Amino acid sequence: MLRKFMALSTVAAVAMATPALANDEKDYDPSEETVTQTVLMTGEGFFPEVTYAKPGYSLVFHNDSEGSIVIKAADGSWETDDIPASGSATVKLASDMNQQFVVDGSETVAGAFSFLPAPTRD
């Protein structure tokens, strides 16, 4: 009798949970996910120097240098707000954005993002 009760309880619990799971799956849209990648600015350069991403991803630039910085596209088409030491700024990537970036005032401290697939080791 106890086994039958436990079996029925299990069946009832699964039956009640199944519509909720199905509804969650139906409402799930992976295109609405935000993928975030972090780029560290050390004062000496960016790490990683090249970030592989897709349009719609967000890059979080974290300032690990001692002073505030502004990061801008190499062609000046976009830039972050002032990022204080230990602060960060987020840039949402679009397919038409210039992919090369520099620290404003220091054209030699440069990095990039790429929409190409990341290289793999064979």
pLDDT tens by residue, 30-40: 566 679 999 99
- The pTM score is 0.71
Q: How far apart are CA 40 and CA 70, in angstroms?
A: 13
Domain that includes residue 17, residue range: 2-30
Q: Are 87 and 63 a contacting pair, CB within 8 Å? A: yes
In a domain, 120, yes or no: no
Q: How far apart are CA 81 and CA 84, in angstroms?
A: 9
User: Does residue 66 share a domain with residue 22?
Assistant: no
Put residue 47 in one of left, alpha, beta given phi > 0 → left and psi -120 to 50 → alpha. Answer: beta
User: Does residue 45 share a domain with residue 12?
Assistant: no
pLDDT tens by residue, 26-72: 555 556 667 999 999 998 999 999 999 999 999 999 999 999 999 99
User: Does residue 59 share a domain with residue 73?
Assistant: yes
User: Does residue 108 share a domain with residue 70?
Assistant: yes
